[in-house]
């Protein structure tokens, strides 16, 4: 209760304040202690205009009804007296008994001797025409008064009448005629007398005030319309704009009639505009209050009342003025009713403690106060100048309400956004946690089942194998389902952001077909990429295009038991049409419209799943601005077609940034590569990339092969790695990459997954046929990080992968890790080879020394020769060049020659040696690559036979390079023993040299040892050194 009283007190206090301000305004513009006219005489002999200011000529004036006095004649008929200001219909003898008619006013003013200066009269808008005479001279007029209606011209506009006189008595005659206004006539407002400058100044102040308020109203109208136009669709704004506009129009045609001052229009049209402006304000205020106040419980009544107001507006617009005047009482009732309703609704909302209702109540109170004072002014109860304070305060209150509402809404929206963000985060966390919790046991099931399949393959029955394989397959399908569920949630909430760039569809198609090739195992189904090599690029998100094609092809493979599945593309109307065509079971016409709905698979589907793949594909295609459709013939196949926009010209610098800057990354800015918009040199690019503190000369001496069909990406990769001093060579397709590996000593391969012809996966498989993961690491670049992408890459033989768009710090770190890994393996193999050579068997040393001692007694020359070769052998065994990667062939032959000389002196006729060496061969080979093979042939082949045998060292050119063969006719081996030679075992003391040599040869040339052996016939161990134009000796 106290709260209601407090609000009521605030409103009453506000009403008192604004009333007090208006009274102060009236007092400030009034003249205290001014004289009053009596019996048509006005005594100003004691009045000083310079000191006392202006004054109103109020009081008793002579009144001559139905007569236009001759201003030149001093003789006038007997006059009546009438109070000015006032309606002449209140006089004892009104003209024709109504406000309409004509008449004359006369006033004689006595001035003092010092008043010989320029004076002026301010004549307000008198209904409806008037003219002023001073001492018999017409000095000003508004319209043309006349004794008959057809001779007079209405024009009720305020004006100033300037005059100068040296007479002590000034005779003022005013003719007035009114044949239109049925409610008031005569001098209804006070006429002001004063110095001309003072009157002009006050006039301009009043005009400036009205113009200022008009401009304020128009500005409010414009910005509210703009606010509504830009998207804030609140009805209250429309009505507020209408209220502002109507009020501004009313200002133009009221008081000083600004519109008539500047625009020459018909006087009665200005009156119509005035009526329409007032009525428009009333309608707008009512509708605005209806949309803002909760107290309006009868919207039907409001609609009917609004319709009545609109009909009144229409009547005023089309009816002549003489038909409008009689209905002014009805007009007044319609005009004032909305103000009363609005005041009631505002007070009720305030007392009901509605939010921000106090602002509206203040505005409504100001409007009501201005309305009441206006009524008092029009009825002649008060005579005052234009007063703008009420209307300004009311509109400030309305603006304050909207501003307060805006900030309240903003705060509430921020709070709601924060709450939604929290809820969104909690939901994401719930999905992520749930997915994680589901994936963990699911992956455990998959991994355990796969482990049992791999480790107990030989002991499991065929039925158990099938069951475990089914468990793994179902587990992987469930994992894909979880991924699809998360994608559907993201798409539904518009949280999937596309990162479009020009991509080659044929390249993406090749990679996706390679990913799904395993699904056709055991089925007579061929996967064919029929997209032309020169098909134009499309503007799309590569990751999402992969997902679209993967889902469509996966669906096609599931429903195709035999035949072909092909991908085709064509260009129509600057749009790429991509078709996935299969020869599967087809789809009935009645089911095709259900294909792209979630959780729909069709009645003829026999596969498991949630049916989300096609729905996700449709959503992703539409995100790209494309369409997707299906055409099918049952039992003949289906064609799924989707469209993508063709790529427009993309600036290279934009392309660089789009591919290198991660779109979601929490890394510091320094770790992200941002190339300049234009670069002039490699130095500048390196400087832009190398913006973090790091060791210098990291990649010196290391060769990296970058493989990508996009030349811009290759350029970026090269510049990033060259900034680390890597030597970078490039290839644009898989076949070229394989050739480059054969012709160059490559330490690391970086390959894009999606390439035409041979995909990155297929390239990896081809490389792994010759090089192990330690001999030649492979780093794949992929647009997606899904399970199937990563699994396909690792199963193909990749060491690691990087997600595009690439982060430069991540790329450099992974390249460094893989090259360091290979370098450490190389060093280990070289040190192992050197260690093996250093581990000369003690009995070999003893036997050699014994041979030297024996020869010392038999043949001194042979002893010296054996001692010399033994020394050469020891020097060659401990030579520092054995730690290098490659040595000249002559160095290795020299070592072998010394070894065989020693063994020949020892075994004599049991060992026969044949040298078949092409003297024109000049190559480099890994150190200690021939001697271990020769030693193995002597010890484990020839010397195992009592009669010994022959060893042949053959070095000859071949089409692929230089073939080096070690052939013996020793005991030979079975095929199973040959295979076991390359299986390392921790407890075996033999065969380590062969394994080490084989590994080093594979690292150097991609091919290791080739062993051909037959039991009892001998063994041939060979390897091929390919000829290369440029080799690195390190």
pLDDT in tens, 66-121: 888 888 776 667 778 899 988 887 765 555 557 788 999 999 999 886 657 789 99
More confident residue, 268 or 678: 268
Q: What is the number of other CB atoms lying within 10 angstroms of the CB of residue 408? A: 12
> Helices in 744-859 by DSSP H: which ranges?
760-768, 787-796, 808-838, 842-858
Tens digit of pLDDT for each residue in 217-276?
A: 888 888 888 888 887 777 777 888 888 888 888 888 887 777 877 777 887 888 888 888
| CA–CA separation, 733 and 575 (whole Å) | 26
Q: Where in the chain is the domain with CATH 3.40.50.2300?
A: 703-835
More confident residue, 443 or 253: 253
Assign 676 a pLDDT band (cuts: 50, 70, 90).
very low
**Tokens found for residue 524:** 């007579």
| The predicted structure's pLDDT at residue 2 | 45
Lowest-confidence region among 198-202, 204-208, 592-596: 592-596
Tens digit of pLDDT for each residue in 820-844?
A: 887 777 766 666 555 555 555 555 6
Tens digit of pLDDT for each residue in 891-946?
A: 888 888 888 888 888 888 888 999 998 888 888 888 888 888 988 888 888 888 88
Helix pair 842-858, 889-907: axis angle to 10 deg = 60
Q: What is the mean pLDDT of the chain?
A: 79
Tens digit of pLDDT for each residue in 756-793?
A: 788 899 999 999 888 888 888 999 988 777 777 788 88
Tens digit of pLDDT for each residue in 553-574?
A: 988 988 888 899 999 999 998 8
The three-point CA angle 27-33-39 to 5° equals 120
> Is 45 in a helix, a strand, or coil?
coil
| The predicted structure's pLDDT at residue 854 | 67
Tens digit of pLDDT for each residue in 396-430?
A: 887 787 788 778 878 888 888 888 878 866 776 67
SS3 readout for 475-518: HHHHHHHHHHHHHHHHHHCCCCCCCCEEECHHHHHHHHHHHHHH
Domain 703-835 CATH class label: alpha beta
Q: Where in the chain is the domain with CATH 3.30.565.10?
A: 499-645, 851-1026
| The predicted structure's pLDDT at residue 331 | 83
Kindly state the average pLDDT of the residues 952-968: 90
| CA–CA separation, 409 and 358 (whole Å) | 17
| The predicted structure's pLDDT at residue 380 | 60
Kindly state the average pLDDT of the residues 705-722: 86
Helix pair 787-796, 505-516: axis angle to 10 deg = 80
Lowest-confidence region among 295-299, 346-350, 947-951: 295-299
Helix pair 328-351, 2-29: axis angle to 10 deg = 130
Lowest-confidence region among 92-96, 133-137, 180-184, 611-615: 92-96
Kindly state the average pLDDT of the residues 440-458: 75
Percentage with pLDDT > 70 across the chain: 82
| The predicted structure's pLDDT at residue 146 | 92
Domain 499-645 CATH class label: alpha beta
The three-point CA angle 485-487-490 to 5° equals 110
Kindly state the average pLDDT of the residues 738-759: 87
Kindly state the average pLDDT of the residues 152-159: 87
Kindly state the average pLDDT of the residues 689-714: 68
Per CATH, the number for 34-205 is 2.60.120.260
Assign 14 a pLDDT band (cuts: 50, 70, 90).
confident
| The predicted structure's pLDDT at residue 823 | 79
| The predicted structure's pLDDT at residue 878 | 64
- Asked if residue 1018 has pLDDT above 60, the reply is yes
- Asked if residue 485 has pLDDT above 60, the reply is yes
Q: What is the dihedral of CA 767, 773, 776, 779, to 10 degrees?
A: 80
| The predicted structure's pLDDT at residue 742 | 82
Tens digit of pLDDT for each residue in 967-1012?
A: 999 998 888 888 777 765 444 444 556 777 887 787 777 788 899 9
Assign 289 a pLDDT band (cuts: 50, 70, 90).
confident
Q: Chain centroid to CA 898: how far?
A: 74
Assign 1019 a pLDDT band (cuts: 50, 70, 90).
very high
Nearest to 274 by CA among 321, 232, 339, 216: 321
Assign 662 a pLDDT band (cuts: 50, 70, 90).
very low
Q: Edge-to-edge strand order for the sheet containing 118-123?
A: 55-56, 192-195, 118-123, 159-164
Q: Which residues pair with 528 in a beta bridge?
A: 566
Assign 286 a pLDDT band (cuts: 50, 70, 90).
confident
Strands 192-195 and 118-123: antiparallel
| The predicted structure's pLDDT at residue 669 | 30
- Radius of gyration over every alpha carbon of the chain, rounded to an integer in angstroms: 53
- Asked if residue 471 has pLDDT above 50, the reply is yes
120 torsion bin: left (phi>0), alpha (psi -120 to 50), beta (else)? beta
| The predicted structure's pLDDT at residue 399 | 78
Question: How far, CA to CA in Å, does 524 sit from each of 59, 560, 567, 583, 633?
Answer: 117, 9, 17, 12, 21
Tens digit of pLDDT for each residue in 497-543?
A: 888 888 889 989 988 888 888 788 778 999 999 999 889 999 998 88
SS3 readout for 399-463: HHHHHHHHHHHHHHHHHHHHHHHHHHHHHHHHHHHHHHHHHHHHHHHHHHHHHHHHHCCCCCCHH
Domain 851-1026 CATH class label: alpha beta
Assign 682 a pLDDT band (cuts: 50, 70, 90).
very low
Q: Where in the chain is the domain with CATH 2.60.120.260?
A: 34-205
| The predicted structure's pLDDT at residue 961 | 86
| CA–CA separation, 942 and 989 (whole Å) | 19
Percentage with pLDDT > 90 across the chain: 16
């Amino acid at each position: 209760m106290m709260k209601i009283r407090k609000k009521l007190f605030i409103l009453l206090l506000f009403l008192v304040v604004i009333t007090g301000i208006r009274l102060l305004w009236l007092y400030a513009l009034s003249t205290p202690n001014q004289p009053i006219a009596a019996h048509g005489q006005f005594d100003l002999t004691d009045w000083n205009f310079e000191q006392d200011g202006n004054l109103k000529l109020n009081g008793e004036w002579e009144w001559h009804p139905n007569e236009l006095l001759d201003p030149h004649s001093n003789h006038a008929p007997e006059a009546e007296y009438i109070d000015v200001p006032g309606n002449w219909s209140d006089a004892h003898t009104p003209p024709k008994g109504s406000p309409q008619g004509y008449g004359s006013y006369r006033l004689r003013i006595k001035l003092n001797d010092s008043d010989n200066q320029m004076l002026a009269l301010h004549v307000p808008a008198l209904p409806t025409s008037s003219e002023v005479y001073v001492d018999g001279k017409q000095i000003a007029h508004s319209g043309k008064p006349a004794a008959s209606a057809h001779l007079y011209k209405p024009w009720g506009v305020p004006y100033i009448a300037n005059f100068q006189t040296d007479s002590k008595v000034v005779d003022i005659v005013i003719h007035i005629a009114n044949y239109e206004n049925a409610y008031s006539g005569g001098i209804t407002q006070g006429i002001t007398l004063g110095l001309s400058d003072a009157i002009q100044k006050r006039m301009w102040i009043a005009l400036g005030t009205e113009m200022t308020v008009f401009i304020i109203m128009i500005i409010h109208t414009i910005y509210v319309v703009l606010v509504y136009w830009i998207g804030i669709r609140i009805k209250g704004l429309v009505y507020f704009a209408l209220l502002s506009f109507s009020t501004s129009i009313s200002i133009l045609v009221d008081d000083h009639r600004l519109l008539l001052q500047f625009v020459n229009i018909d006087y009665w049209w200005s009156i119509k505009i005035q009526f329409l402006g007032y009525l428009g304000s009333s309608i707008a205020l009512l509708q605005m209050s209806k949309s803002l106040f909760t107290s309006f419980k009868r919207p039907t009544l409001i609609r009917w009342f609004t319709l009545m107001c609109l009909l009144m507006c229409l009547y005023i617009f089309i009816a002549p003025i003489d038909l409008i005047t009689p209905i002014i009482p009805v007009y007044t009732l319609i005009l004032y009713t909305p103000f009363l309703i609005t005041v009631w609704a505002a007070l009720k909302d305030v007392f009901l403690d509605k939010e921000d209702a106090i602002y509206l109540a203040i505005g409504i109170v100001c409007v009501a106060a201005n309305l009441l004072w206006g009524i008092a002014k029009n009825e002649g109860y008060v005579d005052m100048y234009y007063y703008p304070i009420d209307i300004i305060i009311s509109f400030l209150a309305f603006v304050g309400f909207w501003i307060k509402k805006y900030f309240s809404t903003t705060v509430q929206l921020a709070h709601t956004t924060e709450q939604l963000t929290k809820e969104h985060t909690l939901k994401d966390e719930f999905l992520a946690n749930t997915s994680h919790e589901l994936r963990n046991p699911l992956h455990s099931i998959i991994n355990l089942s796969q482990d049992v399949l791999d480790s107990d393959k030989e002991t499991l029955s065929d039925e158990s194998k099938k069951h475990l394989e089914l468990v793994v397959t179902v587990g992987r399908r469930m994992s894909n389902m979880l991924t699809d569920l998360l994608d559907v949630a993201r798409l539904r909430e518009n949280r999937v952001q596309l990162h479009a760039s020009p991509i080659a569809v044929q390249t993406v198609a090749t990679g996706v077909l390679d990913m799904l090739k395993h699904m056709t195992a055991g089925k007579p189904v061929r996967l064919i990429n029929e997209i032309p090599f020169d098909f134009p690029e499309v503007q799309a998100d590569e990751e999402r295009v992969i997902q679209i094609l993967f889902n469509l092809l996966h669906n096609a493979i599931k429903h195709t038991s035999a035949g072909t599945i092909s991908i085709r593309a064509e260009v129509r109307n600057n749009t790429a049409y991509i078709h996935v065509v299969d020869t599967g079971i087809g789809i009935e016409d009645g089911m095709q419209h259900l294909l792209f709905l979630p959780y729909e698979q069709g009645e003829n589907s026999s596969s498991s799943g949630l049916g989300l793949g096609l729905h996700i594909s449709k959503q992703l295609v539409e995100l790209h601005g494309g369409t997707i459709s299906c055409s099918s013939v049952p039992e003949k196949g289906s064609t799924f077609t989707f469209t993508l926009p063709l790529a427009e010209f993309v600036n290279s610098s934009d392309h660089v940034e789009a591919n290198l800057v991660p779109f979601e990354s929490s890394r510091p800015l320094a770790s992200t590569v941002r190339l300049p918009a234009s670069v002039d040199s490699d130095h500048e690019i390196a400087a832009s990339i190398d913006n973090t503190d790091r060791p210098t000369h990291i990649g010196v001496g290391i060769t990296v092969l970058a493989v990508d069909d996009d030349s811009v990406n290759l350029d970026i990769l090269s510049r990033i790695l060259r900034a680390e001093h890597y030597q970078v060579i490039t290839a644009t397709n898989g076949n070229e990459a394989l050739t480059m590996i054969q012709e160059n000593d490559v330490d690391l391969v970086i390959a894009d997954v999606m390439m035409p012809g041979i995909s990155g996966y297929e390239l990896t498989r081809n490389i792994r046929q010759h090089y192990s993961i330690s001999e030649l690491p492979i780093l794949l670049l992929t647009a997606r990080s899904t399970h199937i992408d990563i699994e396909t890459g690792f199963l193909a033989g990749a060491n690691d992968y990087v997600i595009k768009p690439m982060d430069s710090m991540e790329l450099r770190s992974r390249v460094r890790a893989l090259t360091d890994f290979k370098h450490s393996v190389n060093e280990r193999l070289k040190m192992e080879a050197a260690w093996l050579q250093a581990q000369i068997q003690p009995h070999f040393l003893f036997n050699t020394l014994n041979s030297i001692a024996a020869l010392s007694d038999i043949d001194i020359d042979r002893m010296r020769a054996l001692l010399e070769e033994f020394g050469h052998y020891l020097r060659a065994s401990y030579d520092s060049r054995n730690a290098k990667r490659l040595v000249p062939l002559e160095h290795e032959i020299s070592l072998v020659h010394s070894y065989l000389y020693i063994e020949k002196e020892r075994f004599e006729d049991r060992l026969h040696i044949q040298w078949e060496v092409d003297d024109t061969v000049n190559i480099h080979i890994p150190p200690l690559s021939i001697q271990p093979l020769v030693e193995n042939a002597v010890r484990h082949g020839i010397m195992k036979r009592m009669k010994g045998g022959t060893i042949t060292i053959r070095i000859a050119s071949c089409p692929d390079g230089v073939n080096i063969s070690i052939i013996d006719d020793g005991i030979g081996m079975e095929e199973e023993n040959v295979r076991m030679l390359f299986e390392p075992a921790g407890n075996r003391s033999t065969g380590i040299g062969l394994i080490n040599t084989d590994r080093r040869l594979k690292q150097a040339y991609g091919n290791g040892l080739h062993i051909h052996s037959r039991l009892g016939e001998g063994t041939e161990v060979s390897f091929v050194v390919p000829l290369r134009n440029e080799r690195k000796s390190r």
